[in-house]
Structure 1
Amino acid sequence: MNNTKEVLVTSFALFSLFFGAGNLILPPYLGYTSGNDWFIVTLGFAITAVLIPILGILAHARLQGTMYDFGKKVSPLFSSVYCFLVYVIAISLPAPRTASVTHEIAVAPFFTTSALLTSTIYFALVFVFVINRSKILDLIGKFLTPLIGIILLLIIFIGIVTSPVAVSQTFIEAPIAKGILEGYQTFDAIGAVVVGAVIVISLNLKGNITYNEKKELITKSGWIAGTGLLVIYAGLILSGSLFQTEFSENATRIEVLTGLSRFTLGHIGTLFLSVLVALACFTTAVGVVVGTCDYVKALFKGSQTAYLITAVLGCLIGVLVGSFNVGFIIDIALPVLMFIYPITIVLIILNVIPNKYVSILAFRAVVLITSIFSIPDFLKFIIPIENVQPLIDVIPYGNFSLGWVLPAIITFILCYLYTNQLNKKNKLLMERI
């Protein structure tokens, strides 16, 4: 095995599987709203859109199983329910959203066709890639990702060099919290537990790779892909900030992205952006659908029929949901993310921490407490805010939709101290015996 070549191909594939609709439309808009605070916002965004996802890939490198392995230490039932929810969310929201973004940015400026037609053709092509499962890493890593990277770097470089000199203002009150929450919308933490499994299975299909070789390859690829994501995100956020004065105060995410490409690449920028959006979104959709199909196939003892049926259903859902506009899909996703994202984050972190520091008790207690303290953030999107606000006000960082963070940290520390003390007592008892 050519290790360097495999690392680069896997790195490119990982980057491309992560970099989809949200990753493209969110950073420029975040920069536009943050103005002079773009660096602080970038730090927050990097936590949930880069660091946590890459930790998820590192956890996969260690576990080398499926998403089920992330939650099985809590309980088999919990892990099964968690996997079901994540795959349903992934195939119903972020995957279809890629078709919606593709229509609004890459198709609508040139053709008057309907969004339904776009999503139909789009997911027909996704289906073709999904059924050619064994070639996914090479197709995405060798051919699609380099083109995505070149266009992105062109937009960022020209934007920084040619931007207006005007000083930008910020439209947000808590930059780092805003960056963290916008990172939720990339779905990258969820993407990590989904596409990480895709990478593991893809490497298994190649055969003749040991556990340690796969661990090293996935770990190196994860860090390289993460570095690429950080550079691109920071560049897009900075570019959005630098061109803030060129947009109206009520500019939308799509308007900021399309405007940025036009300001940097001129009239041809619209064409370049169309190619970029189509490629970036397409690779992510393929990764999500393949991940879902892989999981269902494993549930049915390797049944290829189960894989094909899931692929058909996943693409049909993509066609239907993908025909709605981007803003609607983002609004629908937000309450769901406020509940499932914190749970995903703590599962990733717990699976990365060495086993000697994390007990079964810690897995169960931290996930339970995180779930409980995420409920107010979920409820405020589905019931009148005044009914939930008194509860949010008494939870530390509750007003920033981060009320689960401190309770989760305290719970982990208490579990560690308790388990450590219990182990010492058991050791003393054994020595006396």
Structure 2
Amino acid sequence: MEEFKDDINKKPLSWKEYLVVASLLFGLFFGAGNLIFPIHLGQLSGANWGMATFGFLVTAVLLPLLAVLAISASHAKGVYDIGKPLGPKFALIFMVLIHLTLGPLFATPRTASISFSVGLAPVLPQKYVKISLLIFSAIFFILAFIIAYKQSTILSSIGKVLNPLFLILLFSVFLLAAHSPMGAAKNQSATSAYQAMPFFNGFLQGYNTMDALAGLAFGYTIVSAVNQLGKTSAKSNAKVTARAGVIATSAIGVIYIGLIWLGATTLNHFKIAPEGGTTFNQIVTYYLGDVGHALLATLVTLTCLTTAVGLIAAFAQDFHRSFKKISYHAWLAIMTFVSFITANFGLDTIIAWSTPMLMFLYPIAMVLIILSISGTLFDHDPVVYYWGVGLTLIPAIFDMLASFPPAISQQGWALALKSIQYRFLPFSDIGMDWVIPTVLGLAIGFAVHFYHKVKLQDA
């Protein structure tokens, strides 16, 4: 993005222009995948759904908005630039890890597996589920590849119709549930984790949306859109992005609150499912019958296909930019094929194996977001980044190892490391052991920066 000291457009933006940016932000952050985690959170938290919601909104709504503001405030063009103060090697590794998480390892395969689990899996005999997922995901990703290969805008055009239909269906369910709830959320029992620490467990559950990572990876799209409206100075760009972001994230927050409450009301009728896709299908079928299920399956599949096209195209573009010897179309093919393979492990497995990566990346992303927004206070001095991120890395690695599925986390060496973690890092039991090292690292980094600054002034 070309940088300007002043705005090309001096006039204030109209509400319509703000809504255009807000709708772009909404589309960036809200997909079918964002339905399943709040509903699951509601089932897990039961009567404590209010405090769990508060924690969830911090990482699933506030943090993604801050991620986009970080891109705007630091003039970054993506994840690489956000990590660049720590050196090109760190920036490249961080970018690759985020794109692999949003790309072929977790988020992109999840688009197919969510579509399948919501649409087809509930009506299939168990013995046909695996082969059906194989066929469904093959068709799904072939279509996604063809559309992305031709760089067709057909899905974005369809999306203008799909998204309103999807929201109408969702709010219809909300109204029916408010009029005739399955049960009183305040009377439902919470799982043991949510009886003790509902806020912090909701906070960690928000990682699963991956929206803070998406904000870093695709936030430049929003910044560019604001730039095209003539708000080209850093201050104005950030101001417009913030205002539009508040509109978009407020809407998403309202939807999340409704979904979490809805999940908590289901416990009189349905058992806690391993993931929210099954529960969402049960809710829609309960209120709208088979017609509702068919409509939901269609809308979720098309919405997820739109998301998949965007993700594989963004992955291919960014990786071609960083690794130019491989063409855009070759990266597109690699991304699509690996996503297809991963999708066939099933939604439960994808979620289980994505958790360790998110436990590792989110604390680091949070520190980089804070430092990018506040960078002018310390002249983006790398020493602050080194101390802040450096001390965050240690607990992040411990949290990653502890949250792996039993095949890794129950190994002798992993249990020995977990014992060290619980002994020396406070709040390890709730996955928040990075907080004290991070605050300490930032404090040391700022102290060193200002010490050097004062020393230079006195020289």
Q: What corresponds to 1:142 in structure 2?
A: 160
Q: 2:417 aligns with which of 375, 388, 392?
A: 388
CA contact (8 A) 1:58 1:218 kept: yes
**Residue 190 of structure 1, CA deviation:** 1.5
Letter in 2 for 1:130: A
- 2:389 paired with 1:367: yes
Letter in 1 for 2:40: Y
Q: Gaps (5+ residues) in structure 2?
A: 1-8
**Residue 126 of structure 1, CA deviation:** 2.2
User: Which deviates further from its counterpart, 129-138 or 319-328?
Assistant: 129-138
- CA distance 1:148–1:17, shift in 2 (3 Å): farther
Q: What corresponds to 2:79 in structure 1?
A: 67
Q: Aligned partners of 2:190 and 2:252: how far apart in 1?
A: 24
CA contact (8 A) 2:122 2:278 kept: no
**How do residues 292-331 of structure 1 correspond to structure 2 at under 5 angstroms?**
292-299=315-322, 306-331=327-352
SS at 1:281 equivalent:
helix
CA deviations over 1:76-132 (Å, ceiling 9, x no partner): 110011111221222121101110111121233467771122112222332244346
CA deviations over 1:340-369 (Å, ceiling 9, x no partner): 222122212221224214532111111111
- 2:46 paired with 1:16: no
Letter in 2 for 1:194: A
CA deviations over 1:392-422 (Å, ceiling 9, x no partner): 3231111111111221022212322332233
Q: Aligned partners of 2:141 and 2:226: how far apart in 1?
A: 25
**Residue 217 of structure 1, CA deviation:** 4.8
Q: Aligned partners of 2:151 and 2:24: how far apart in 1?
A: 14
Letter in 1 for 2:290: H
- 2:176 paired with 1:158: yes
Q: 1:89 aligns with which of 84, 101, 122?
A: 101
Letter in 2 for 1:158: L
CA contact (8 A) 2:45 2:198 kept: yes
- 2:217 paired with 1:194: yes
Letter in 1 for 2:385: F
Q: Aligned partners of 1:203 and 1:317: how far apart in 2?
A: 34
Q: Aligned partners of 1:355 and 1:288: how far apart in 2?
A: 32
User: Which deviates further from its counterpart, 281-290 or 183-192?
Assistant: 281-290
SS at 2:345 equivalent:
coil
- CA distance 1:314–1:200, shift in 2 (3 Å): farther
- CA distance 1:27–1:396, shift in 2 (3 Å): same
SS at 2:209 equivalent:
coil
Q: What corresponds to 1:355 in structure 2?
A: 376
Q: What corresponds to 1:271 in structure 2?
A: 294
Task: Give TM-score, length-normalised by structure 2.
Answer: 0.84
- CA distance 1:136–1:426, shift in 2 (3 Å): farther
- CA distance 1:26–1:250, shift in 2 (3 Å): closer
**Residue 263 of structure 1, CA deviation:** 2.8
**Residue 57 of structure 1, CA deviation:** 1.1
Q: 1:342 aligns with which of 363, 378, 389?
A: 363
CA deviations over 1:53-80 (Å, ceiling 9, x no partner): 1111111223241221110011111001
CA deviations over 1:36-58 (Å, ceiling 9, x no partner): 11111011111111111111111
Q: What corresponds to 1:402 in structure 2?
A: 432
CA contact (8 A) 2:76 2:82 kept: no
CA deviations over 1:191-242 (Å, ceiling 9, x no partner): 11222234456778x7987455755554443322211221111110011112
CA contact (8 A) 1:20 1:283 kept: no
Q: 1:231 aligns with which of 240, 251, 254?
A: 254
CA contact (8 A) 1:361 1:415 kept: yes
Corresponding pairs, count: 426
- CA distance 1:252–1:422, shift in 2 (3 Å): closer
Task: Give TM-score, length-normalised by structure 1.
Answer: 0.88
User: Which deviates further from its counterpart, 5-14 or 324-333?
Assistant: 5-14
- CA distance 1:316–1:13, shift in 2 (3 Å): farther
SS at 1:235 equivalent:
helix
- CA distance 1:110–1:390, shift in 2 (3 Å): closer
Letter in 2 for 1:365: W
Q: Aligned partners of 1:425 and 1:37: how far apart in 2?
A: 52
Letter in 2 for 1:153: F
SS at 1:114 equivalent:
helix
Q: What corresponds to 1:377 in structure 2?
A: 399
Q: What corresponds to 1:43 in structure 2?
A: 54
